[in-house]
Structure 1
Amino acid sequence: MASKNFVEMETQVMKHYPRCTAQMLLDLHHEVLGVSAKTDELAQLTKECFFYSQIREIVEGYYDLGTLVDAYQIFGGYINTTFGIYTEKDGEKETWLFRKYKRGKEVESLLFEHKLLLHARKNGFSFGAIPIKAKNGKTYHVEKQIMPEGEEDFYFAVFNYIGGSNKYDWIPNWADDGIADTTILSAAISMAQFHNSTKNFDPEGRHGDNIMDNEDITVNDIIKKFPQTLKNYRKSYADTGYENAYTEYFDANYNFMSRMCAASVIPDEDYVKMISVPCHCDFHPGNFKYTEDGTVCGSFDYDMAKIDSRLFEIGLAMHYCFASWKSETNGSIRLERVKKFIDTYNTELSKMGGLAPMNGTEKKYLYEVIVQGALYVIGWCSVACVYNPTLNPYEYLFYTQHLIACLHWLEDHESEIRELSKRL
């Protein structure tokens, strides 16, 4: 029976909205997920096609390397985008490393890195890759890209490709059991060879990238003002709404980090007695290639290189290479391996007869520079979250917890490290 308010509508010219059941909505949800996944897949594919086309245009158009055969992205770095590529010229296949530098890269810091590597190779450094000259004689290529903010310059370079395997990273490093002596000894030899080959390098007024400060100052000076730098980073987190588990841990440990900065600053009158040379500043196990038995056969990623005390390079390396990441020993440093590394470094320099082995002042401050090394990497973590507030806070919390654990371990074992330095 129809009510008096019922009127037969002309539904044939209208759109009917059917009643939705729970199952219908679930089916629709699954369809949307499929479309979303397809969109992500297409976005990734277009990105890969863009990179491949860009590599091909640059390699074939601006370098005398023949035609591009294949390109494979190399993962593991946090800053630049790097590929291993095959080219073919005159019927011969060759392998190269192709690098697209980070957005905002300055050409002067790029030239510092390139000229440093070429100088090192010329003076006997056999471990590092060197940049290949383009057709115009430059060791890099610059391309303009239109970004959402406008037109920008991006820099590219091609290096010879270092053979060997990627056996380790900064996680896991050489703190684990079962690390072959040849790994530690060959790494120490590579550092000695690099420092010796670059001792007379003239930067011509240029300097490399600095993860925490655009000024060309020593790490010792960076550590002096690091507490204020950390405060500035904290303000940036707040300004961008980057409030999370990482920033909570940052706040809880700020006073401890500041105290360790004060404890690790080296007096200026002693710092000037230390030998300054170009330093890799990223000397960790992931930046090496290895032969089958674990011997270091190549090193790379010198874009963070800077001229500083070689003692800082050693301190940073000892933290990077020998501080445990395992939960039961997190932050502890294998001091017997530290001694083995440094003794080998000094012995190798004595054999070369160029750069002198570590002097008494340098040995005296070994503890301070290992602390500075851990603080320096904290700087890398904290500034990364300033530049990119979309980073996963739990990843950088994990890194920072390790670094804080290392600082606590160092504080608790200061006397042992000072005793070790007397036996070097």
Structure 2
Amino acid sequence: MHENLHKFLLNFYDLGHINYIRKNHRGYRNETYKIETRKDNKKNHYILRYYRKGILEERIKFEIALMHELIQQGFDISPHVILTKNHTAYAKLTEKTGNLTEDRYITICSYLPGEDKYNWIYPLCTDAELRDAGKVLAYYHSAICEWRGIDGWMNQRYIDKVFFMPDQWLSFAKKAGNSSFDQYFFDQFEYLYSMLYKIQFKNRYNEMPHLVIHGDYHPGNIKFRDGKVSGIFDFDWSNADLRCFDVAIALLYFCSVWNGVDAGNLLLDRIESFLGAYQEAAENISGIEPLNKMELEHLPEMIHLSNLSLIDWVLGRFYTNDHDPDEYKDYLLHSVQVGQWMERSWDQLYKCILGQEFNLTSFKHSPLQSNKSNIDQVL
């Protein structure tokens, strides 16, 4: 693969002499490589992204336009795209397998400064880094708040995708085999299925602020230097959606414990730090305001939605690809533990976010029973 990429770079880009191409094994969706080159007696570093099979070209155009908009708005800690020799923002290759041909896409971006210190399953950064990450998310929202995307690309909000999850999860359950993941999924299926019905569809969702969210804002998609964010990247999940959902995703990632006796817990002190930093920054920058009362009231529900989206990703990845059952069982176990913690700690979470007691009994009384016949068909 490296030899093919070497030839590709020479043909499509003017980067100079290529010193090395090294694969980054942290990503899940696309293949990523770090490139070192030398040109005009200067050493340079870049990131090459080899997009997954099946991705739509319009999706790539959307991500590139998003990164361009951020740079235009002065958000200079996001990568900028390196143009090809033909002055295009990405290269299209045609791969042939047997009698089938398929278009594949490649982009090259600037290499961001700082350290890759964490990932999504080892997220507990320092409090200084946590607070700065909260501020930077507000800065990102401010930079992108007026952008409306591009013509030809529109994706569903995550809240709208929940409608399709029950049938999808039922179909996955019917595929369950004998691996450790299959067994755990089967054992937890009734509980997982019930989690879907703790989201209540409301017109109020349409009343809350929308913008192009990052969609995957966690410590593994951020670089840090001296306790501060020095770069954010990976806009694979970016989409027009609820602003508070983007904050909720971040809280789930930054504040949840993966190991030990507290596994699955959300650390309320970290939620206060991140959310407080976001609110403070949003109050003092243009374009956005702090999360309003309606957004704060729905933030716990959005954290639950973030957890559902993670479960949906885990199930989809496992049942449509060949993955390690034990690894993906750990991911699913974590989401189950988070769901259980939220049921136990719903009032405390609301108090943490709103600063007052808030009793939401509807969350704890799922309409699972009305869907029991569907579950029985699988079990």
TM-score > 0.5, shorter chain as reference: yes
Report which stretch shifted further, 61-70 or 410-419.
61-70
CA distance in 2, matches of 1:225, 1:145: 33
CA distance in 1, matches of 2:243, 2:168: 24
CA distance in 1, matches of 2:255, 2:152: 32
**Which residue does the alignment assign to 1:196?**
142
1:284 to 2:218 alignment: yes
1:251 to 2:183 alignment: no
**Which residue does the alignment assign to 2:20?**
70
**Which residue does the alignment assign to 2:156?**
217
Letter in 2 for 1:247: D
Per-residue deviation at 1:261? 1.9
> Aligned pair in 2 of structure 1 residues 145, 283: CA closer, same or farther (>3 Å)?
same
1:167, 1:294 within 8 Å by CA — same for their partners in 2? no
**Which residue does the alignment assign to 1:4?**
none
Matches within 5 A, 1:54-65: 54-65=4-15
**Which residue does the alignment assign to 1:386?**
319
CA distance in 2, matches of 1:115, 1:259: 39
Q: State the structure with more CA Rg.
A: 1
2:223, 2:230 within 8 Å by CA — same for their partners in 1? yes
**Which residue does the alignment assign to 2:71?**
121
Letter in 1 for 2:235: Y
Letter in 1 for 2:191: F
**Which residue does the alignment assign to 1:24?**
none
1:314 to 2:247 alignment: yes
CA distance in 1, matches of 2:242, 2:299: 12
**Which residue does the alignment assign to 1:397?**
329
Show structure 1 runs of 5+ residues with no match: 1-50, 209-215
1:136 to 2:136 alignment: no
1:127, 1:190 within 8 Å by CA — same for their partners in 2? no
Deviations 1:320-369 (A, max 9, x none): 11110112111001111111111111211111121121111101011101
CA distance in 2, matches of 1:254, 1:280: 30
**Which residue does the alignment assign to 1:371?**
304
Per-residue deviation at 1:118? 0.7
Report which stretch shifted further, 218-227 or 100-109.
218-227
CA distance in 2, matches of 1:187, 1:201: 22
CA distance in 1, matches of 2:25, 2:65: 25
Deviations 1:158-197 (A, max 9, x none): 00001211111112112xxxx4222011111221111111
**Which residue does the alignment assign to 2:172?**
233
CA distance in 1, matches of 2:37, 2:78: 21
**Which residue does the alignment assign to 1:348?**
281
Letter in 1 for 2:239: K
Q: Among 95, 100, 104, which residue is 1:150 paired with?
A: 100
2:130, 2:254 within 8 Å by CA — same for their partners in 1? no
SS in 1 for 2:311: helix
1:220, 1:265 within 8 Å by CA — same for their partners in 2? no
Letter in 1 for 2:211: V
After superposition, the CA RMSD in angstroms is: 1.7
Letter in 1 for 2:72: K
Identity of aligned residues (%): 26
Letter in 1 for 2:100: G
CA distance in 2, matches of 1:353, 1:201: 14
Per-residue deviation at 1:127? 2.0
**Which residue does the alignment assign to 1:14?**
none
Show structure 2 runs of 5+ residues with no match: 357-379
**Which residue does the alignment assign to 2:118?**
168
CA distance in 1, matches of 2:41, 2:74: 32
Matches within 5 A, 1:174-193: 174=124, 179-193=125-139
CA distance in 2, matches of 1:373, 1:152: 33
1:276, 1:308 within 8 Å by CA — same for their partners in 2? yes
SS in 2 for 1:225: helix
2:149, 2:212 within 8 Å by CA — same for their partners in 1? no
> Aligned pair in 2 of structure 1 residues 412, 207: CA closer, same or farther (>3 Å)?
farther
Per-residue deviation at 1:423? 2.6
2:179, 2:325 within 8 Å by CA — same for their partners in 1? yes
1:270 to 2:220 alignment: no
Per-residue deviation at 1:289? 0.9
SS in 2 for 1:365: helix
Deviations 1:101-147 (A, max 9, x none): 11222111111111011101111212211221112221100111222
CA distance in 2, matches of 1:148, 1:184: 50
- TM-score under structure 1 length normalisation: 0.80
Letter in 2 for 1:395: E
**Which residue does the alignment assign to 1:106?**
56
1:421 to 2:353 alignment: yes
- TM-score under structure 2 length normalisation: 0.89
SS in 2 for 1:324: coil
CA distance in 1, matches of 2:256, 2:117: 17
CA distance in 2, matches of 1:420, 1:199: 27
